[in-house]
Amino acid sequence: MALVKVYVDEPDIPIRDWQAELKRLVDFMKVDDRASSALWVVLSALRGPDSANGSVKVATTGVIRDAIGLELYGLTINPDSPALAKLREGHPELHPLSHFGQHCRSAFKVLDLPWEPEDEEEE
């Protein structure tokens, strides 16, 4: 069954559960306001880097997925840590002008996640 059938309002066409969920999401995104833009920023950052660099994935995608509560089996999902923040800092693949870097940085910002290592408290 082609997905496009989801958008044809014919009651006799069965809609797969995931397609109905996708349609609802797309309808939300069509509003095209700040809310849908924020959602797009997160969704578009859920795929790991195309470089398949595992360290970069753990330091970015894994943290984003963990922050939103994703628990899909087989995916890299992990909490943030000072070591990961340090890895993010200055990594060439995460440069603000790189495609992946832009997406990840935007997602961190929208989710209120600290990108850079937080200053250690002075004693």
Partner 1 sequence: MQLDISSDPNFDNAIPPAPSTAWKEELARIVAFLNRDDCDSAKLWSVLSALRGPDTPDPFEVEKAATAAVIRHTIGLRMRGLVILPDSERSLVERKAIASGSSAHFYAHVANAFGELDLNWRAVNKSAEEAA
Of 36, 78, 87, 117, the one binding partner 1 (CB under 8 A) is 36
- Residue of 2, 10, 97, 122 interacting with partner 1 (CB under 8 A): 2
Q: What is the DSSP letter of 96?
A: T
Our CA angle for 47, 53, 55, nearest 5°, is 100
120 binds partner 1 (CB under 8 A): no
Q: How far apart are CA 108 and CA 92, in angstroms?
A: 17
- Contact footprint for partner 1 (CB under 8 A): 1-5, 7-8, 16-18, 21-23, 25-26, 28-30, 32-40, 42-52, 68-73, 98-100, 103
